Structure 1
Amino acid sequence: MSSNPSNSRRGFTLVELLVVIAIIGVLIALLLPAVQQAREAARRMSCQNNLKQLGLALHNYHDTNKCLPYGWNNLEASWHAAILPQMELNNLFETLIWQEGGDGNWNSGSANEAACATYIDGYRCPSMAIPKAVDNNSIEGRVPGSYLCVASSLALGNTNSNVSSGEVHLGMYKQDGVMYGLSSTRFADVVDGLSNTVAIGETYTDPDEARDGNAMDHWYIGAPQTGGWNATDTGQNSGTEFCEVAGSMNVVMNAALDPSISGVVAQLAFGSYHPGGAQFVLCDGSVRFVPQTIDFNTYRALGSRNGREVIGSY
């Protein structure tokens, strides 16, 4: 009696293997955007938490000093330095040297330069896709920042050489925002309402992105190029590059990403690495995501503390 032929194992054919690979590829293509969106959502939430802490720090500073911090002072320190104690970074604050010249310079190799090169999670959006430290303006390992104070709803440049006659620039004393050069704004001065006025916002930072000789570079704690600035009601103050620490809401959001907008103007803009808009801290301490499609007049009105505008929905 003849035996039956033994059963042989049947493997995948080349066509079947290619079909499986194609299916896996399709699944990856479908899942990857979802994973990326989830990661971005987590980064945006972390950024929102940073801004909430900044809002709380502003309120604590106001409780202690009866006013909000200056945007920058005449020793080239920024509002980021002023609120270090309220950010639970008093040890770093105590290292700062408050003098003009010598070790008080921010690029002198002293403790002030070391502070500018200190990485602080709360001053950086996790979505910002640039190095954590950059050699800049004679500061080794200077750390880029993600958040600017709102100095103005009118400014279109850093200095009077950047703007046309009669236009507002950040070098002017007494802006209509809440934090500018040597400002001491009280909550009582915010007549438009704390929930209708922005104090701090995100910005699109990239020191390698430059137009017309103006880089989209934003930093924290010290701003050496603001040196010599002083409070006068008329004329041009000394210094420049106030946009390293402060911005204007008279510039469309994410202007840094629009090559048709002059770098002189774009460097003052708020914006972000998040798609669709940016996050802002209102004077009441709340955080709002503002869409890039917001009506520009509404957007600009949010930057004024005393314009008496009626803010619609956004």
Structure 2
Amino acid sequence: MLVVVAALCVLTCVGLLFPAVQKVREAAARMTCQSNFKWWATILHTHADAHYRGPDAPWDDRTTVFLTGTVQNPALPPERRLSWLVEVLPYAEQGRAYNKFDLMRGADDPVNEGAASNRFRNLVCPSSGEYDHNTSRWKSPTPITHYVGVAGIGTDAAELPLKHPRAGVFGYDRRTSLKDGFPDGTSNTLLLIETANEPGHWAFGGRATVRGFEPGTAPYIGPGRPFGGFHNGGPVLVGERLHTCTVAFADTSVRSLTSATAPEVLEALATVGGREDVPPP
């Protein structure tokens, strides 16, 4: 009898300990994810500061790049161009990888195949299981990113002109200046957001690395939704579980939004010049 009681006590303790361990691991993964966002947001600022020459500088001058959704190449559709992540590699301590790219060729060009095959752990959410630290193996057959640039509102968000009220930071053929391009304020504008929804190759432009908030897909955050999907917030006894989504704002601040964040709040935060009042969460 004592043996049975002891066994039950052990099982009970294990049952109580396991959720606690999972909670600690998830908290650690969420902190790492936030650190990744801070890293890339800061790099984007460093890149933009290094290339700023004024809002009237010509497109054909490479030094006029501020924040763009793709490496500019009008001869290619956005989804075949190199991504904004390629553009900022020198500022992410990846100058050697950057130098292997031919910026005038597409991400799918054989010349860029070797450079595009690089994988970066700070582009994937630690909670995703994409990278196994124990085996040093990757789950996906191609190098992906869970972190994408925010394009604004609508299916055509990345294609909108610079001053359109639905335009966000990243667009295929527009550039956003961190100096004077944020009428809504950098602290009220989303820069980067995580997604578990069909993550794409980090070196490719288009939807792989730039996405907008499409009103028909709301609610936006949570498993199976357009954004978030990795951080489940832990078990709850009463009510619905709140899923969290890591984001970086244009002022480089990093926050966690939740599945309870109203769609109209996210849409207000997605634009650089919508001049809308941000509703309370």
TM-score (norm 1): 0.71
- Measured in 1, the distance between the counterparts of 2:45 and 2:201 equals 22
Partners of 2:151 and 2:157 within 8 A in 1: no
- Counterpart pick for 1:248 among 212, 218, 230: 212
- Measured in 1, the distance between the counterparts of 2:249 and 2:109 equals 36
- Deviation for aligned residue 1:169: 5.4
- Deviation for aligned residue 1:38: 0.3
- Measured in 1, the distance between the counterparts of 2:108 and 2:37 equals 28
- Counterpart pick for 1:177 among 133, 157, 168: 168
In the other structure, the counterpart of 1:264 is none
In the other structure, the counterpart of 2:66 is 68
- Deviation for aligned residue 1:300: 0.6
Q: How does 1:6-45 map to 2 (within 5 A)?
A: 15-45=1-31
TM-score (norm 2): 0.78
After superposition, give the CA deviation of every residue in 1:6-40 in whole Å (9 maximum; x if it has no partner).
Answer: xxxxxxxxx22221111111111111011001001
State the one-letter code of the partner of 2:208.
Answer: E
* TM-align CA RMSD: 2.1
- Measured in 2, the distance between the counterparts of 1:97 and 1:310 equals 43
In the other structure, the counterpart of 2:108 is 107
* Structure with bigger gyration radius: 1
**Closer, same or farther: CA 54–306 of 1 in aligned 2, 3 Å:** same
- Measured in 1, the distance between the counterparts of 2:20 and 2:145 equals 28
- Measured in 2, the distance between the counterparts of 1:298 and 1:254 equals 12
The sequence identity of aligned pairs, in percent, is: 25
In the other structure, the counterpart of 1:299 is 266
**Closer, same or farther: CA 55–282 of 1 in aligned 2, 3 Å:** same
In the other structure, the counterpart of 2:247 is 280
Q: How does 1:128-143 map to 2 (within 5 A)?
A: 128-130=128-130, 132=138, 134-135=140-141, 142-143=142-143
In the other structure, the counterpart of 1:53 is 39
- Deviation for aligned residue 1:133: 5.4
- Counterpart pick for 1:88 among 77, 93, 99: 93
State the one-letter code of the partner of 1:281.
Answer: A
- Measured in 1, the distance between the counterparts of 2:67 and 2:115 equals 18
- Measured in 2, the distance between the counterparts of 1:179 and 1:58 equals 11
Q: Which runs of 5+ in 2 are unaligned?
A: 53-64, 132-137, 233-242
- Measured in 2, the distance between the counterparts of 1:65 and 1:30 equals 54
Q: Which runs of 5+ in 1 are unaligned?
A: 1-14, 136-141, 157-167, 206-215, 224-241, 259-268
Partners of 1:247 and 1:270 within 8 A in 2: no
User: Is structure 2 residue 212 aligned with structure 1 residue 221?
Assistant: no
